[in-house]
Structure 1
Amino acid sequence: MSDPREERRSLGAPASSFDLAASPFRVDRDRIATSPFFARLGGVTQVVSASGSGLLHNRLTHSVKVAQVARAIAERLRADQRFVESLDELGGCDPDVVEAAALAHDLGHPPFGHLGEQVLDRLARHRFALADGFEGNAQSFRIVTTTDTGGPSAVGLDLTAAVRAAMLKYPWTRLHHPDPHPRFMSVPPRGATEPPEAPGTGSGKFSAYVTELDDLAQAREAFTGRLADWQQTVEASVMDTADDIAYAIHDLQDFHRIGVLQHAPVAAELSRWQSSAAELGWLSDAEVHERGPGHSLELVRRRLHAKDAWIFSDDAFHSAVARVRAELVDELLATPFDGSVEAEQAVARFSARWTARLVEGMTVVPEPSTRSGHVVLGGEQWHEVQVLKFVHRRFVLLRPDLAMHQRGQARLITSLVEALDQWLGDRHEADRLPRRLHDLVELATVEYEALARSEPGVLVGATGDAPHGRDEVHALARGRAVIDFVASLTDKQAVSLMEALSGRSGQPWSDAFVL
């Protein structure tokens, strides 16, 4: 007799004659891997543009590695008899599901990495009055449920409920769903709090727009009674943790390769904190903000202590700093990368050793903190990932040369959105719009007209004003279409399209309209 729960997890469109696999979850994986939205990730920045060098991860190679790690975690947990019963009670942990979700998790990532995400969110909220704004996770969910056309129904990819649910790192919308919204919890889930610089705007992270509310509810239906409405599924938790592991390890590997991550400053920061931890611990918050080796790491320690008391330990943090100092700083970074066989082997050993260590540390927690999923890193490994992520942020993301480069990219995206919006507003040019943009406007118009009739409250943003009349509803739809269109470009396509729209391109045609 079939399992009703498994039938609900497998709910999606029936397999088509073009699908190569029998398992519905393998069909999902195949549809994601053959999507043009997946292919475009090869041209989307991970942290900085790879510029064809082959030395840096892009969003495609990152996604493949997340899928590799996610599958390894799922297989290890399923093979451990201590966890099998808990995993089944919580809704399942299928390696095919987590692999498919991991491949899909960055489909919505816009040009120029997280910088593009921030700019599109600001423009969506302030220029177009979209209460949802823009969020890369929600955009990924919108692609697989709505804007891709690779599924049998030609609306989304017709993925199973389990895979769609596994993509929901943050299973709520920005402002309205579920009710009560998790941002109001006494200890909100990770990502649910409002950004301190933007009070009243809703959660900083979320995985669905209001246009995909029905898809979110249907994907989560099989987990009703097993999980709170704000909790990740086990499979989403595996994918989320795999993303953290890949980010922590592979980005450091990249910047060692190109000489950005230097031994001396990282060693100075970590060694000073190690030798002066007690002294730094006595400083006030104002004093520890002073620039100086060890101070930035002390700030991280204090933030983790305040936000993640459910797992944080001073002893474990000290041990994590020591391990990162020994294996990253004194071992890997001590010898500059020169492209030799020895250098390549050192990078490979570092990556393999750390990935295996982190995967082996995974465990299942029946009653986790609201700040965690049911699948978590072991305590030692969790602290080590925090220190690795600190090194990446402090010595890569905060570099002034990267900031200067990103400011130019932010201006480009802003100008591109404004130019496309102006083009849409020109009634004399309506017949000459890029076909893809025209189709996205039609799609969003149907969606927003339906929401305005059935649930106008979900269109209300921080101002508290609902759209009035057909023109305002259509303006929202036009804004969402422009955001969808720009988010679907590669870095190069965004640059090429802006050059064409500004008259600087000598070519009458461009590949910028592929998606």
Structure 2
Amino acid sequence: MDRDLRTQRRDDAAESAWPDLADGNPFRADRDRIVASPFFARLGGVTQVVSAAGSGLLHNRLTHSLKVAQVARAISDRLLSAPDAAELIGKFGGLDPDVAEAAALAHDLGHPPFGHLGEQVLDRIARHRFGLADGFEGNAQTFRILTTTDVRGPSAIGLDLTAAVRAAVLKYPWTRLHRPDPHPRTMPNPPRGAAEPPGAPGTGSAKFCAYSSEIDDMVQAREPYAVVLEPWQQTIEASVMDTADDIAYAIHDIQDFHRIGVLQHAPVATELGQWLEHALELATMDSATLAAQTRRPGRSLELLRRRMHVRDSWIVDDDAFADAVARVRTELVDGLLADGFDGSIEAEQATAAFSARWTTRLVGGMVVLESPSTRSGHVTLRAAQWHEVAVLKFVHRRFVLLRPELALHQRGQASLITTLVDALDAWVGDRDEESRLPRRLHDLVELAHTEFSELAATAPELLVGATGERVEGQDAVQGLARGRAVIDFVSSLTDRQAASLLDALSGRSSQPWSDSFVL
């Protein structure tokens, strides 16, 4: 690592560390502070894909985060032991396993009730109902928790984490619309997540890691890396965390749905087998025909291959894709899924062996690139493993996420969140009841009002509505603050808390009060 950068990281860490934690190791102190946060504890009650509802068979956001941290440390140890990677790691800012692990533990703190479904609903409400141009984004909410809304750091504003850990959490180191300038969404081949959502021009990046209220925190965290990284590039430790998240997601969610009998042998075997058998024929079909025939085996997988060529031409390779499909069929279809899961010792051992084998293979496929594509960080997977992760994630999406039963369940959850936001917004706006608001919601309203008032005074160009118009006047500023506070409050609930709070607000609960909504 460049000597000045090493010194800057160490000095920053020494200034922000708690001296009585982790034997003076500031990055371990950061990790311990994250684990001690109630925002971390609440992840045990937040959906990963479907609600675990107390089941020991499904991951929730907490167990997922623990496994991402485990994989991140394994990746760090492997890269640091590889002589060919060490020089490049130092050149681009360094890699500390404690930093990567802390970022992995923190990466899902901002996930709202009901996981990604809740994220989509809150974003829509934030933009369309409250006029918040930043909307809601789970990664940006994570950064807001770490720097602003958690109060357990020495300054009682955020967690006072080191710049290295805060930068490592920024897997998408830009805001939705404004920073950095020029914004990465305008690049010819934007970084992953930076492009605007299809069909929503003018709304800003689909993924981002900081709201306008946390721009200064993002800039300060990234400042030590300005001489070695482009503004839109992940730090080495952020790339490790991001890839560890992909690996854990690809393996453990498949493992979950095998265990509960949702992921069945026959449809997966048919999809992969038909593509392997008819790949040349499918390659000649036009995309419109394929899209109209996605229920026919092999078509969806062929569409994936084509999307990969469009998005990731820097690494996609048809031979590597075919090899990945063949390996997944052998390992997953002919191996894990062939015998089903019956709860026996043998079934448990087979599931554990599948997870361990794939984790070892994918962690072993990590490389450090000197000049990566804009679609990749400096740390990434080799081509073979990269394609394998893509196919594993395809299996999960095609045979779990797109199931009608899940869509039925999620429509109810979307309705619950929407109704809850409406009820809380009405309460915040009721002057006769203002003094009886939940104390945390009251404090969040005051915090957001302070933040938006400061933006109006010091950076009015950042204070725009969802349609891009300048927001002016105290009433408008108060309206944005109220919306951000309600969104902050709802997003900090567990699945069960959200349902229980709506029951209470709807008069369906017999309990006169509860402290379960105080975070």
Q: TM-score, with normalisation over the residues of structure 2?
A: 0.98
Q: Does 1:304 align with 2:308?
A: yes
Q: Residues of 2 paired with 1:262 and 1:510: CA distance?
A: 42
CA spacing shift, 1:34–1:504, aligned 2, 3 Å: same
Instruction: Work out whether 1:505 is the aligned partner of 2:509.
Output: yes
Identity of aligned residues (%): 71
Output the amino acid matched with 1:302. Answer: R
Amino acid paired to 1:468: E
Q: Does 2:164 align with 1:162?
A: yes
CA contact (8 A) 1:8 1:161 kept: no
Query: Does 1:5 pair with 2:9?
Result: no
Q: Does 1:55 align with 2:57?
A: yes
* Alignment counterpart, residue 341 of structure 1, candidates 336, 340, 345: 345
Verify the 8 A CA contact 2:110 2:141 in the aligned structure 1. Answer: yes
Partner of 2:387: 383
C-alpha distance in structure 1 between counterparts of 2:190 and 2:289, whole Å: 29
Listed one character per residue, the Cα deviations across residues 289-344 of structure 1 (whole Å, up to 9, x for unaligned) are 11300000000000001111100000000000000000001110011101110000
Bigger drift between 3-12 and 437-446 goes to 3-12
Identify which of 443, 448, 451 aligns with 2:455: 451
Could you tell me which of 238, 241, 252 is aligned with 2:240?
238
Letter in 1 for 2:503: E
Q: Could you tell me how far apart the structure 2 residues matched to 1:15 and 1:462 are?
A: 38
Opposite residue 299 of structure 2, the aligned amino acid is H
Q: Per the alignment, in what secondary structure is the counterpart of residue 166 of structure 1?
A: helix
From 4, 23, 34, the equivalent of 2:25 is 23
Superposed counterparts of 1:365-514, under 5 Å: 365-514=369-518
Structural RMSD (CA): 1.1
Distance between the aligned counterparts of 1:150 and 1:18, measured in 2?
15
Q: Which moved more, 1:348-357 or 1:74-83?
A: 74-83
Distance change in 2, residues 1:462/1:446 (3 Å): closer
CA distance in 2, matches of 1:100, 1:7: 20
Give 1:98's aligned amino acid. Answer: A
Letter in 2 for 1:362: M
Distance 1:14-1:169 versus aligned 2 partners, 3 A rule: closer
- In structure 2, how many angstroms separate the alpha carbons of the residues matched to 1:43 and 1:60? 8
Structure-2 separation of matches of 1:305 and 1:234: 26
The match for 1:350 among 349, 354, 358 is 354
Offset of residue 198 of structure 1: 1.7
For residue 332 of structure 1, what is the aligned residue in structure 2?
Answer: 336
Instruction: Specify the SS of the correspondent of 1:164.
Output: helix
* 8 Å CA contact 1:256, 1:333 repeated in 2: yes
Confirm or deny that 1:35 pairs with 2:65: no
The answer (yes or no) to whether the contact 1:496–1:510 under 8 Å persists in 2 is no
Aligned ranges 1:58-137 → 2 under 5 Å:
58-137=60-139
Contact 1:201 1:461 in 2 (8 A): no
Letter in 1 for 2:109: L
Separation (CA, whole Å) in 1 of partners of 2:336 and 2:16: 50
Q: Residues 14, 286 of structure 1: CA spacing in aligned structure 2 closer, same or farther, 3 A cutoff?
A: closer
Deviation track 1:38-83 (CA, whole Å, cap 9, x = no partner) reads 0000000000001111100000000000000001101111111101
Please give the alpha-carbon distance, in whole angstroms, between the structure 2 residues aligned to 1:102 and 1:384: 22
Whole-angstrom distance in 2 between the partners of 1:486 and 1:430: 18
Gaps of 5+ in 1: none
Please state whether the residue corresponding to 1:413 is helix, strand or coil.
helix
Note if contact 1:448-1:477 (Cα within 8 Å) is conserved in structure 2: yes
Q: Separation in 2 of the partners of 1:351 and 1:191?
A: 28
What CA deviation, in whole Å up to 9, does each residue of 1:373-399 have, x standing for no partner? 000101100000000000000000000
Q: CA deviation at 1:439?
A: 0.7
Contact 2:17-2:161 at 8 Å conserved across structures: no
Q: Is the 8 A contact 1:38 1:60 kept in 2?
A: yes
